[in-house]
Amino acid sequence: MPEHEERGTPGTGGGRADTARGRNETPDERADRRWAELIQEIRVAQTGVQILFGFLLTVVFTPRFAELPSTDKTIYITTVALGAAATGALIGPVSFHRIVSGRRIKPQAVVWASRLTFTGLVLLLATLISALFLVLRVATHDGFVPWLVAGVVTWYVVCWFLLPLWARIRYTTLDD
């Protein structure tokens, strides 16, 4: 298969010409589209992090919490702090947009909101890893827990970062 067909946009039937041509939109239209896409992505991540964070906040009030060794309490506190930071980063774009709305800086707002969202995803990854580690330590106390968590971390990194980066490199060019 020729390179221009391999690198085309899936589903368009076209090759490199379709990719190179891109969308016919003004910078403002592009910012509006990118903002709408970003908000949809944030909705998914926000829901997950807020449910996890809410659950984490209740753990300290359970009778079993007092019985946890100090190491597990430290892991719990770290997990809650990571969850709070992830929540802040994933809600940040909404506040950012509200504060700068109407100032004609939407392209820059989209860039900053995107950075906050990426940061939130990294913090969500750390929160999930920490929570999984704590739950498995409390549930099993077995030596395989770090290996299991490492396997899950690897899976998250592949799904969240490596696969998208591979697709980005594979299907885009330097001038995109």
Q: What is the pLDDT of residues 53-94, one digit of tens each?
A: 999 999 999 999 999 999 999 999 999 999 999 999 999 999
Q: What is the pLDDT of residues 130-155, one digit of tens each?
A: 999 999 999 998 899 999 999 999 99
Q: Which of 5-14, 31-40, 130-139, 155-164 has the lowest mean pLDDT?
A: 5-14
Could you give phi then psi for residue 26, rounded to 5 degrees? Answer: -75, 165
DSSP letter at 9 equals: P
pTM exceeds 0.85, yes or no: no
Mean pLDDT of the chain: 87
* Residue 47 Cα distances to 88, 94, 114, 142, 156, angstroms: 13, 14, 17, 32, 18
Which of 170, 48, 53, 34 is CA-nearest to residue 115? 34
Q: Quick check: 134 and 75 in contact, CB under 8 A?
A: yes
Q: Quick check: 19 and 172 in contact, CB under 8 A?
A: yes
pLDDT score for 174? 66
* Residue 25 Cα distances to 12, 14, 29, 90, angstroms: 18, 19, 6, 28
